[in-house]
Amino acid sequence: MSVTPTPSKDFIREIIDEDLATGKHDGTVTRFPPEPNGYLHLGHAKSICLNFGIAEEYGGRCHLRFDDTNPTKEDVEYVDSIKEDIKWLGFDWGNHLYFASDYFDKLYEWAVYLIKEGKAYVDEQTAAEMKTSRGDLQTPGTDSPYRDRPAEESLDLFQRMKAGEFEDGRMVLRAKVDMAHPNLNMRDPVLYRIVHAEHHRTGDKWCIYPMYDYTHGQSDALEHVTHSLCTLEFENHRALYDWFLENLPVPSRPRQIEFSRMNLNYTVMSKRKLLQLVTEGLVSGWDDPRMPTICGIRRRGYPPAAIRNFCKTIGITKFQSTNDFALLENAVREVLNQEAARYMAVLDPIRVVITNYPEGQVEEMEAVNHPEKPEAGTRLVPFSRELFIEREDFMEDPPKKFFRLSPGTEVRLRSGYFIRCEEVIKDAGGEIVELRCTYDPTTRGGENPADGRKVKATIHWVSAAHAIEAEIRLYDRLFMTEAPDRGEGSFLDHLNPDSLKVLSGAKLERNLAAVAPGETVQFERLGYFCADKDSTAEALVFNRTAGLRDAWAKAKDQG
Ligand code: ATP
Ligand code: MG
């Protein structure tokens, strides 16, 4: 394989290029290793795009391996959702689906090997004693009184741990490394603990479970992973990762490389906090469209290509940083602007009666489905005497720069006609309930009239008799502050009370009835909207995916 390093490559791809050029490896094997204890979020997408992306670029393979060493927190529900999310992002592990639990026998065998080599021992100190004797960054740890017990004794106890003779927490198996090591992870880390709990895959076969650190590198080695890519918090674990590989008869030598996590402003991204939002009912579930979970943004209508583009844009480095949520939204708009079909919908309707349009007449107007893609074709939109327009598009007493409809002025109805407002009808309370307008029959389709008259605004509309209704869910940021989980108090103090507004009176062009749940379209002039999974033929529901512009940036500009 010929791979030419380019300066624009990230440091991990540079390392891979080097390893292939020197012949250290003749291909890449990477893996994405989620714990099945929650739903995937945007941070995971960064890791997925990196690991699966490398496989695609280098013609290698990427494994999906569930790191399922914690039976009490895991569930098949999570396994299934994780698979679905990775596929949705556009990646495929082929037949390389693995579970760390597949290696429990091998890991047990290797633990016995370490004991026999004098490199592991059963420790009967209490958890509190172990904590004290571990020391801290300033103080070296002290050896456990069990540290130098004979290997046979540890072996006997370890076998009895496995046989279920002892209760949870009674003893653990530890590696014998160095209790004075400056890296705390090297101070005789625990390899096995007793947990009498059913595992979602191995059932009740085991009552001892290997620790994550002991499992991870060996799983990589068993799968012949070449580059084990993980986030920076594992940097301090690398010495231990390597220690296991050096001291066990493993079939290959993977290399751990760390990169910085994705952090996004205005949200939280730890599974623990996301779970809290769900269990406390602060969102409707893991797939609430305000959640930064993959299933949440999918329901929100974000296209997978936007997530992949965003991950490419932010790149891979070792620097801790926070990415701007607005950048992600821009990536979403960029893809949707290309992909989304255009429709007309009026979210806050006001009735317009066209007094000179014949009663009972209906014209089918031809509307363009995508302004930049003629191949997307056209559709028919009915025009009649009574229409709805957006309340915002009319002002009775407009300021100088307001070019939309006001008494005496003329606007173009998109794919319709020019109309002029002649009269404003109000109810007893002074609220505007109807606009009486006239139309110019020579402007059919929105064409300029022969007299050269021009209008400054084009607005959207729907025919009142033909409109369909829908519930519209307007989403905004879930948190009001940039870094909700830093600073004082709980992250929950920073929830945005206006993150969801539900509109019930919207009037939609009838063609929108055919949009399937999960499909995202553009409501002209308003933004991108996705038919929700709750949407049915009888009761349509649309989620606002994103506005056409960054509303927050606009708010800032206006001070
Ligand atoms: P969390 O901290 O949100 O609970 P986690 O790291 O415990 O997540 P895992 O299931 O262990 O979740 O993660 C699987 C993989 O995804 C790991 O390799 C992890 O490093 C990576 N990952 C998790 N969060 C991020 C993130 N914010 N940015 C990049 N990669 C991430
Ligand atoms: Mg983790």
- Please answer whether residues 118 and 86 qualify as being in contact, where contact means their C-beta atoms are separated by less than 8 angstroms: no
pLDDT attached to residue 552: 62
Whether 404 and 335 map to the same domain: the answer is no
Helix (H) or strand (E) holding 506: strand 500-508
**From the CA of 134, how far away is ligand 1's center (Å)?**
27
Pocket test residue of 231, 236, 310, 314 for ligand 1, highest count of atoms within 8 A of CB: 231
Ligand 1 atom 18, closest CA:
230
- Please answer whether residues 42 and 261 qualify as being in contact, where contact means their C-beta atoms are separated by less than 8 angstroms: no
Q: Is residue 266 part of a domain?
A: no
Average pLDDT for consecutive 10-residue bins of the chain (559 residues)? 58 98 97 96 98 98 97 90 98 98 98 98 97 95 98 98 98 98 97 97 97 98 98 97 98 98 95 95 97 98 98 95 94 97 98 98 97 96 98 96 96 97 97 97 94 94 98 96 89 96 97 96 98 94 93 49
Q: Is residue 387 part of a domain?
A: yes
| CATH code at position 372 | 2.40.240.10
pLDDT attached to residue 115: 98
Return the closest-CA partner of residue 197 out of 69, 77, 110, 80: 69
**How many Cα atoms sit within 13 Å of 375 on the Cβ side?**
2
What does the alpha-carbon distance between residue 559 and residue 553 come to, in Å, rounded to a whole number? Answer: 10
Whether 276 and 410 map to the same domain: the answer is no
The residue out of 227, 259, 291 marking a domain boundary is 259
CB under 6 Å to ligand 1: residues?
33-35, 43-44, 46-47, 230-231, 261-262, 269-271
For the residues of 192-232, what is the DSSP string, one character each? EEE----BTTTBTS-SEEE-HHHHHHHHHHHTT-SEEEEEG
Taken in order 304, 306, 307, 313, is the CA torsion positive or negative?
positive
**How many Cα atoms sit within 13 Å of 322 on the Cβ side?**
14
The phi-psi region of residue 99 (left if phi > 0; otherwise alpha if psi is between -120 and 50; otherwise beta) is: beta
Under 8 Å CB-to-CB from 428, ≥6 apart: which residues? none
Query: Could you tell me the two tokens for 173?
Result: 């198996």
pLDDT attached to residue 84: 98
Indicate the residue type of 429: G
Residue with tokens 């009972």: 360
Under 8 Å CB-to-CB from 138, ≥6 apart: which residues? none
The residue out of 425, 440, 460 marking a domain boundary is 460
What does the alpha-carbon distance between residue 27 and residue 21 come to, in Å, rounded to a whole number? Answer: 10
pLDDT attached to residue 228: 98
Whether 211 and 288 map to the same domain: the answer is no
Ligand nearest to the CA of 45: 1
pLDDT attached to residue 553: 59
Pocket test residue of 12, 35, 40, 44 for ligand 1, highest count of atoms within 8 A of CB: 44
Whether 333 and 228 map to the same domain: the answer is no
The residue out of 425, 460, 495 marking a domain boundary is 460
Question: Domain of 426?
Answer: 345-460
User: How many structural domains are present in the chain?
Assistant: 3
Q: Is residue 265 part of a domain?
A: no
Residue with tokens 């490199």: 119
Whether 108 and 195 map to the same domain: the answer is yes
Return the closest-CA partner of residue 65 out of 270, 234, 240, 216: 216
Whether 478 and 422 map to the same domain: the answer is no
Ligand nearest to the CA of 66: 1
Q: Is residue 3 part of a domain?
A: no
Helix (H) or strand (E) holding 500: strand 500-508
Whether 93 and 164 map to the same domain: the answer is yes
What does the alpha-carbon distance between residue 46 and residue 315 come to, in Å, rounded to a whole number? Answer: 9
pLDDT attached to residue 74: 82
What does the alpha-carbon distance between residue 471 and residue 511 come to, in Å, rounded to a whole number? Answer: 16
Q: Is residue 435 part of a domain?
A: yes
Query: Angle at CA 138, nearest 5°, toward 132 and 143?
Result: 40
What does the alpha-carbon distance between residue 486 and residue 498 come to, in Å, rounded to a whole number? Answer: 21
pLDDT tens sequence across 56-69: 999 999 999 999 99
**How many Cα atoms sit within 13 Å of 244 on the Cβ side?**
31
**From the CA of 43, how far away is ligand 1's center (Å)?**
6
| CATH code at position 115 | 3.40.50.620
For the residues of 96-120, what is the DSSP string, one character each? -EEEGGGGHHHHHHHHHHHHHTTSE
Q: Is residue 4 part of a domain?
A: no
Whether 251 and 135 map to the same domain: the answer is yes
Q: Is residue 465 part of a domain?
A: no
- Please answer whether residues 375 and 364 qualify as being in contact, where contact means their C-beta atoms are separated by less than 8 angstroms: no
Q: Quick one: how many helices (H) and strands (E) in the chain?
A: 13, 25
CB neighbourhood size of 386 (10 A): 16
Whether 337 and 370 map to the same domain: the answer is no
- Please answer whether residues 179 and 207 qualify as being in contact, where contact means their C-beta atoms are separated by less than 8 angstroms: no
The phi-psi region of residue 97 (left if phi > 0; otherwise alpha if psi is between -120 and 50; otherwise beta) is: beta
**From the CA of 70, how far away is ligand 1's center (Å)?**
16
Active-site residue set: 35, 261, 271
pLDDT attached to residue 193: 98
Q: Is residue 5 part of a domain?
A: no
What does the alpha-carbon distance between residue 289 and residue 450 come to, in Å, rounded to a whole number? Answer: 48
Whether 171 and 60 map to the same domain: the answer is yes
Whether 319 and 357 map to the same domain: the answer is no
Whether 80 and 145 map to the same domain: the answer is yes
**From the CA of 44, how far away is ligand 1's center (Å)?**
5
